[in-house]
Amino acid sequence: MSHESIRTAVQLILPECILIGTVCVMFLTGPFLLGRNGQASPGLRHRWGALALLAIGAAAWQWWHTTPVAAIDGPFLSDGLSFTIRGIVLALGAVLVLAAWNQLDDRTSAECNACLLALLAGVNLTAAANDIITLFLGLELVSIPTYLLLYLPTRSRPAQEATIKYFLLSLFSSAMLVYGLALLYGATGTTMLPEIVELLKATSLTESPLLLIAAPLIAAGLGFRITAVPFHFYAPDVFQGVPAFMAALLSFIPKVVGFTALWRLTALTSRAAAESADAVSTYMASVLAVLAVLTMFIGNLMALRQSNLHRLLAYSSVAHGGYMLVGLLAGGGSSGVPGGAALLFYLAAYGFMTIGAFCILLAARRSGDSIRTIDELAGLGSSQPLAALVLSVFLFSLAGLPPTAGFLGKFNLFLAAWSSGVSGTRWLAVILAMNAAISAWYYLRLIGVMYLQSPQPSTADAPTRNLPAWIATAVCVAGTLGLFLVPQAVWDAALLATQ
């Protein structure tokens, strides 16, 4: 690799270079700002949070000045997909920094903010990957900071239990993914993703037994990240044990990387139809279709019987993973709404609504922890009208009701699946609609609890408002309503990615 080609490669990932540079500064200077006994001066977290926001701002500025170009030969590419994913991830990354702000303590805030930035860079690198190696490294650059973020902020028993569960299962899935990618490399003989995708469409299963083993391993490795059933079972336990900002992060970031990697590896979203009925890509599509149906039904049915809000939102996140899989599967069609664009639009909408829901649960309490059980929601409509109204907006959006982004997102997914012309996706569209109806029950029940039940005797709360969490909530409300009222810009970007 010549000096020139390294420079071209770096040019393509400048936003990530800014993020990683800031991460290095934070990791290296963080320990020196602590006192001799390991104590930090109060308020240190504000400075680290501000620095993280500044870095995201600089990366976003750099991102805005890139122009998507068609695929090239090299480890990275900067096409429509990576442009759109970068935009979504940087915007919601800033929201996550705000949500985490007051849940971090001053001692570990440098490391936690650094991990958050590293993880955002990892998502963007996954989106910019043009090669198995960069794809895999991007995925791991998301996983490893996630482990650190799980165990650094709180040392409590439930948080540690959630950490070890997530950690062991995530390692397990990464190991399966590596093994699957190794077999994929052996079967196709190249590490470049565009060539692999071509071969997957042209090769039939009987020709290559290695691919027959590789496909389920890759589906399992990535299925863990998008919480597809049967790889979802860690989600409720982990969400219950971790602080609210981590639950928000885990419901969104792994989904983005998982779907981006599936997009790159399976090319289900490209318009050209598969060559033959027994091509490997068709086989992967049918595996994923089964996962999608299971994921939607099990996620929604299990959510019906939850009384803990974090667990409920965990199952809701499982169900939404299923909806997005429908979008991915509808992408191969030759007519109608492009499924890939519907998927990306839904990812943006889902990010705003799920992160917003966790943010308002956090902001409504002044004690620093979030509202965790349904009983605590009772009477929120009279005790905190603003928080109840905002949470209702997010719940409406999650249920897929207008006037919110969730409605438009689900409608697009439904249209894409109905009109794609691929056999079987019409059934997926019908199942999606059924599941949207089931899910409305448990979301609307929460609104009923907030407005119709009498409030509990209020507990003594700390006198300060969690201002950063409120700002994050405000951004999410703006996103959720904005994507319904003026969706055109995001939809255009999503369409650009499918070309």
Partner 1 sequence: MSDVGLTPYLIVAAVLFVCGIVCMATKRNAIGVLMGVELVLNGANLNLIAFSRYGQLGFDGQAIAMFVIVLAAAEAAVALAIVLNFYNNHLTVDVDQARQLNS
Q: Which spans of this chain sit near partner 1 (rule: CB under 8 A)?
A: 132-133, 136-137, 140, 144, 147-148, 151, 155-158, 160-165, 167-168, 171-172, 174-176, 178-179, 181-183, 185-186, 189-191, 236-238, 240-241, 305-308, 311
Neighbour-count burial of 147, counting CB atoms closer than 10 A to its CB (0-12 exposed, 13-18 middle, 19+ buried): middle
Shortest Cβ 51–partner 1 spacing (Å): 24
Q: Which residue, among 333, 298, 339, has the nearest Cα to 316 in the 3D structure?
A: 298
Structure tokens at 274: 């598969």
- What is the maximal distance between C-alpha atoms in the chain? 70
**Which lies closer to partner 1 via its Cβ, residue 34 or residue 389?**
34
Shortest Cβ 89–partner 1 spacing (Å): 22
Shortest Cβ 235–partner 1 spacing (Å): 11
Shortest Cβ 419–partner 1 spacing (Å): 39
Shortest Cβ 54–partner 1 spacing (Å): 27
**Which lies closer to partner 1 via its Cβ, residue 234 or residue 350?**
234
Angle between helices 80-100 and 339-363 (to 10 degrees): 10
Shortest Cβ 155–partner 1 spacing (Å): 7
**Which lies closer to partner 1 via its Cβ, residue 88 or residue 159?**
159
**Which lies closer to partner 1 via its Cβ, residue 156 or residue 334?**
156
Q: Which residue, among 484, 404, 395, has the nearest Cα to 440 in the 3D structure?
A: 395
Shortest Cβ 118–partner 1 spacing (Å): 12
Q: Are 117 and 106 in contact (CB under 8 A)?
A: no
**Which lies closer to partner 1 via its Cβ, residue 182 or residue 212?**
182
SS3 for 335?
Answer: coil
* 3-state percent breakdown (helix, strand, coil) of the chain, nearest 5: 75, 0, 25
Matching residue, tokens 């990240």 = 225
**Which lies closer to partner 1 via its Cβ, residue 155 or residue 271?**
155
Matching residue, tokens 């909806």 = 323
CA-based R_g, the chain, Å: 22
**Residues shown for the chain:** 499
**Which lies closer to partner 1 via its Cβ, residue 196 or residue 343?**
196
Q: Which residue, among 73, 221, 247, has the nearest Cα to 153 in the 3D structure?
A: 247
Shortest Cβ 185–partner 1 spacing (Å): 6
SS3 for 253?
Answer: helix
Cα 258–Cα 291–Cα 200 angle in degrees, nearest 5: 65
Q: Are 327 and 417 in contact (CB under 8 A)?
A: yes
Q: Are 218 and 136 in contact (CB under 8 A)?
A: no
**Which lies closer to partner 1 via its Cβ, residue 213 or residue 433?**
213
